[in-house]
Amino acid sequence: MDTIKEIIYDHIHYRKQILQLAKSDLIKTYTGAAFGWAWGIIKPTVTIFVFWFAFTIGLRHGDPQNGYPFFLWLIAGFIPWFFMRDSITSGAGSIRKYKYLVQRIKYPVDTIPTFVVLSQLFTNLALTLIMMVIYMVFGFMPTIYYLQIPLFYLMALFFFTCWALFSAMLSSMSKDFFNLVKSAVPPLFWLSGILYSPERIENHHTIRAILMFNPVTIIVNGFRNSFVYHKWFWETPLLLRNYCIVTVIMIVLAVWAYRKLKKEIPDVL
């Protein structure tokens, strides 16, 4: 409990610095590029365009979902995935990236992963607005279910901030762990229901049940329920239960890693 109190105190006490550093991290990531931070939006937008071409003009594959074209169903999962993917990798390498904050300024280690993940959120919010425009271009106006999108963003932000603290502490001690995280991202993409719905896996009930504990799957389903299926978050209690379980586990792991390694990090870096 003392470690949890310390982490909460640091986040409250350094809240202004966290926001400032999140903005600086976003700018620093694209320093030297002509378009600056706009590349954070341009690259995912190009990916979305490629999928639009493939599934609307090229392959023409994918059944409509609840009256929505397959392409719209697809990007409702892709947009939050961009945030979660970048949070997984950037969060894991955050302390190594900002080791000078630990070595020279003695900045609290536990807040470094937070502002790095937060910087990824800024870009993704802009992508979500672009997605809403795309939906309107296709003739689908915003609905009342859009009101719960901030909830799913908060859920993703909280879980992946905890993940970032856990993974950043371990990555600081071992580059092998960081390399393992990066190599695990592509398999995670294919196992998270970005291109398909895990609920449609009928003959493998155990596999489907395991996949539904995947936090990426939970957040993606939340976005698709908001944009496509028009379901409120309380209409999917199983997903909420699974999210609470995996989040509690992630909190325990993050607190454990921070308590065990915080004194060793400055020497290792």
Q: What is the pLDDT of residues 36-62, one digit of tens each?
A: 556 667 767 777 777 677 666 655 566
Burial class (CB in 10 A: 0-12, 13-18, 19+), 59: exposed
- The mean of the pLDDT values for the chain is 86
Determine the pLDDT at residue 192: 87
**pLDDT-based confidence at residue 101 (cuts at 50, 70, 90):** confident
Dist. CA 47–CA 174, nearest whole Å: 32
Count CA atoms within 13 Å of residue 9 on its CB side: 7
**pLDDT-based confidence at residue 155 (cuts at 50, 70, 90):** very high
Residue in 267, 6, 262 with CA at minimum distance from that of residue 109: 262
Structure tokens at 225: 């329920």
**pLDDT higher than 80, residue 203:** no
The DSSP result for the chain, as a single string, is: -HHHHHHHHHHHHTHHHHHHHHHHHHHHHTTT-TTGGGHHHHHHHHHHHHHHIIIIIIS-----BTTB-HHHHHHHHHHHHHHHHHHHHHHHTHHHHTHHHHHTS---GGGHHHHHHHHHHHHHHHHHHHHHHHHHHTT----GGGGGHHHHHHHHHHHHHHHHHHHHHHHHH-HHHHHHHHHHHHHHHHHTTSSS-GGG--S-HHHHHHHTT-HHHHHHHHHHIIIII---GGG-HHHHHHHHHHHHHHHHHHHHHHHHHTTTHHHH-
Say if pTM beats, i.e. exceeds, 0.85. Answer: yes
Rounded to whole angstroms, the maximal C-alpha distance in the chain is 57
**pLDDT-based confidence at residue 34 (cuts at 50, 70, 90):** very low
Dist. CA 195–CA 188, nearest whole Å: 12
Give the mean pLDDT of 146-175.
Answer: 94
Give, in order, the Cα–Cα distances in Å from 3 to each of 7, 236, 261: 6, 33, 12
Higher pLDDT, 116 or 35: 116
Higher pLDDT, 199 or 186: 186
User: Looking at the DSSP assignment, which residues form a beta bridge with residue 106?
Assistant: none
Determine the pLDDT at residue 230: 94
Determine the pLDDT at residue 104: 72
**pLDDT higher than 70, residue 92:** yes
**pLDDT-based confidence at residue 30 (cuts at 50, 70, 90):** low
